[in-house]
Structure 1
Amino acid sequence: MTYPPEPWYLEGRLYLSVWLTPRHESAGILPPGVRPVTLAGRALVGTAWAVYEGDGVLRYREVLRAILVRRRCRPLVTITGIWVDSEESRAGGRALWGVPKEPAVFTVTGRDRFSARARAAHGRECAARFRALTRTSLRLPVAFRVAQIREGRLHITPVRCRGRIRPARASWDLGALGQGGGPRRPRPLLSLLYEDARMLFGDVPPHPVPGNRARGDG
């Protein structure tokens, strides 16, 4: 399976929720060398639905679960579960960055009132509903690094994104995606809609890669 070289330029919208879960529930699912960032003894966990469309190098949908971690004093993000509906994205994510993408079938409707369901192998499912709480948005650039195991070693990948953020209300049924931390129907601490997002995922090569757009670095 062929896939675009890094970095991937992606356009779309993301629906994000964050909540706290007991720290011990993250034991055994994080890469060696990183520890969960905690607040009052609880780990910070996030989930997101992404709808990548527009003029990016790939168009697909995904849902993921991630944990905020640290390596010594450096904050990072580790993705512990992620489903996608693109074989190119699945193959590229695993090969380039060690992101454990699995194939799934998605049903997605709406924008400000967003509803999504994903079904992976063996009947595993997860679902969520989001409702934007205001039309007013704030432009917010975001930069972070993802820590995964690739070829037996810790691999750190930079991510840069810019877009407009709005508060939202969300309800989730994480199902199998929530295994390893968090209740099946968690109550998010915070939910957001991140729209008109332009994301650059991966290292930028020292020289331009023909056919790959290096835009979106905010």
Structure 2
Amino acid sequence: MPFSLLDVPSVSESRVTSDFLATMPPNEAPAPWTVQASAIVWWCKATPAATEALPPALRARGKAAVVIGGMVRYADTPVGVYDEVFGAIGLRVGRHLIGTIPFMSVDSPTSLVGGRGNWSIPKTLSNFTGAPADGDTFAATSATGQHWRVSAAPSVRLGVSLPVFSRMRVIQEFPDGSLRGTRLKANGKMRYANLDVDVSSEGDLPSWLPSGRHKGAVLSSTRFTLGAPTPFHP
């Protein structure tokens, strides 16, 4: 059922105002989405702050185990080309190992309304510099007047590209408090890397998506599909 994009649960860095949303276009790209992208990703052990960053319906059911950060350049999507930064949290809920995304920002208004409207992913707007490439620094800065910035500079540890095949379930809390899951299917190529990550904010983002040198990967020629959400009953 339709819901207000304003009410999508999120951390403070992804919050938007009703006046801001009034300037956004309508969502004309329903799920599923199949996209082509290149990206840099990194991971680290979750802190107690990561559990606090979970949406309420998940925080009551599980404890954060791992944090995954990423910056993506999309070359082909249902809403055109755009860049993205995200912070995701992995946790175990009952028998399920799942991921959820409390923070995401893009430089595309059409992607913003699609993410919020299709999957209750709390996208906001940001500006990007650099590229997701070995030796470059890819950075995102808030474009909505908030004071946060995320940057990552990868150094490839292994020059050989390895195949990537990923199947996971992304669970988001919707404005009505329900949990809905989406199948994410991805394949592509990757090279292991160390990433120098810098996260700054007036909010709590650095407490659970921390700065530092993290293990991760540079992904290329990656294709993935994000399906339509269905009810999740842990």
User: What's the TM-score, normalizing by structure 2?
Assistant: 0.77
Aligned counterpart for 1:73 among listed residues 86, 92, 95: 95
Cα distance 1:28–1:138, how it changes in 2: closer, same or farther (>3 A)? closer
The structure with the greater share of residues assigned to helix is 2
**1:2 and 2:12 aligned:** no
Cα distance 1:162–1:184, how it changes in 2: closer, same or farther (>3 A)? closer
Equivalent residues of 1:21, 1:181 under 8 A apart: no
Aligned counterpart for 1:114 among listed residues 114, 119, 136: 136
Cα distance 1:105–1:165, how it changes in 2: closer, same or farther (>3 A)? same
Cα distance 1:2–1:191, how it changes in 2: closer, same or farther (>3 A)? same
**1:87 and 2:109 aligned:** yes
Q: Which residue of 1 aligns with 2:147?
A: 123
**1:151 and 2:175 aligned:** yes
Q: Which residue of 2 aligns with 1:35?
A: 62
Gaps of 5+ in 1: 38-42, 205-218
Cα distance 1:178–1:51, how it changes in 2: closer, same or farther (>3 A)? farther
Gaps of 5+ in 2: 1-25, 230-234
Moved more, 174-183 or 73-82: 174-183
Q: Which residue of 2 aligns with 1:202?
A: 227
Equivalent residues of 2:119, 2:228 under 8 A apart: no
User: What's the TM-score, normalizing by structure 1?
Assistant: 0.82
Q: Which residue of 2 aligns with 1:47?
A: 69
SS at match of 1:91: helix
Cα distance 1:28–1:50, how it changes in 2: closer, same or farther (>3 A)? closer
SS at match of 1:95: helix
Equivalent residues of 1:26, 1:181 under 8 A apart: no
The residue type paired with residue 151 of structure 2 is A
- Deviating 4+ runs (over 6 angstroms): none
Q: Percent identity?
A: 23
Residue 102 of structure 1: how far off its partner (Å): 0.6
Cα distance 1:183–1:147, how it changes in 2: closer, same or farther (>3 A)? closer
Residue 187 of structure 1: how far off its partner (Å): 3.2
Equivalent residues of 2:173, 2:180 under 8 A apart: yes
Residue 178 of structure 1: how far off its partner (Å): 6.0
**1:182 and 2:208 aligned:** yes
SS at match of 2:116: helix
Provide Cα deviations, 1:156-182, integer angstroms capped at 9, x if missing partner: 111100001211121011223862743
Report the Cα distance in structure 2 between the residues aligned to 1:28 and 1:22, rounded to whole angstroms: 10
Report the Cα distance in structure 1 between the residues aligned to 2:88 and 2:63, rounded to whole angstroms: 11
SS at match of 2:112: helix
The alignment covers a number of residue pairs equal to 197
Provide Cα deviations, 1:100-158, integer angstroms capped at 9, x if missing partner: 00111111236232311111132321211112233311112101111111232111111
**1:173 and 2:195 aligned:** no
Equivalent residues of 1:36, 1:44 under 8 A apart: no
The residue type paired with residue 56 of structure 1 is T
